[in-house]
Amino acid sequence: MNRHHRLAIDRIACDGRGLCAELLPELIDLDEWGYPVIHGQAVPADLLGHARRAVAACPVLALRLERAAGDRPPPAA
Ligand code: SF4
């Protein structure tokens, strides 16, 4: 079975300052209220390091990187 990583947000904990979207604009946008919106289901392999840094930088530990089984991750650009 294939495994990949995906980002998840604890929407209760998130304070919407948008640091994650600044660090990982390839995968995270902000909605009209400044809260993050994640694009896609799987983190591409070439963005995994950036995703880990964004997770580590979240000031309230609201951003997580999860391992998931299922679809193949998109190919590296
Ligand atoms: S860095 Fe954390 S608290 Fe800030 S918008 Fe992203 S998920 Fe929310």
Expressed in angstroms and rounded, the spacing between residue 23 Cα and the centre of ligand 1 is: 10
Distance 50 CA to ligand 1 centre (A): 15
**What ranges do the domains of the chain cover?**
1-43
- Residue 57 alpha carbon, nearest atom of ligand 1: 1
> In this predicted model, what pLDDT tens digit does every residue of 17-41 receive, in sequence order?
999 999 999 999 999 999 999 998 8
Q: How confident is the model at residue 72 (pLDDT cuts 50, 70, 90)?
A: low
Residue 77 clears pLDDT 60, i.e. is over it: no
Share of the chain above pLDDT 90, in %: 79
pTM: 0.84
Q: Which of 12, 13, 3, 6 is nearest to 27 (CA)?
A: 6
- Distance between CA atoms of residues 35 and 39, nearest Å: 13
pLDDT of residue 51: 97
Q: State the pLDDT at residue 73.
A: 52
Q: Whose CA is nearest to atom 3 of ligand 1?
A: 14
Cβ atoms 46, 75 nearer than 8 A: no
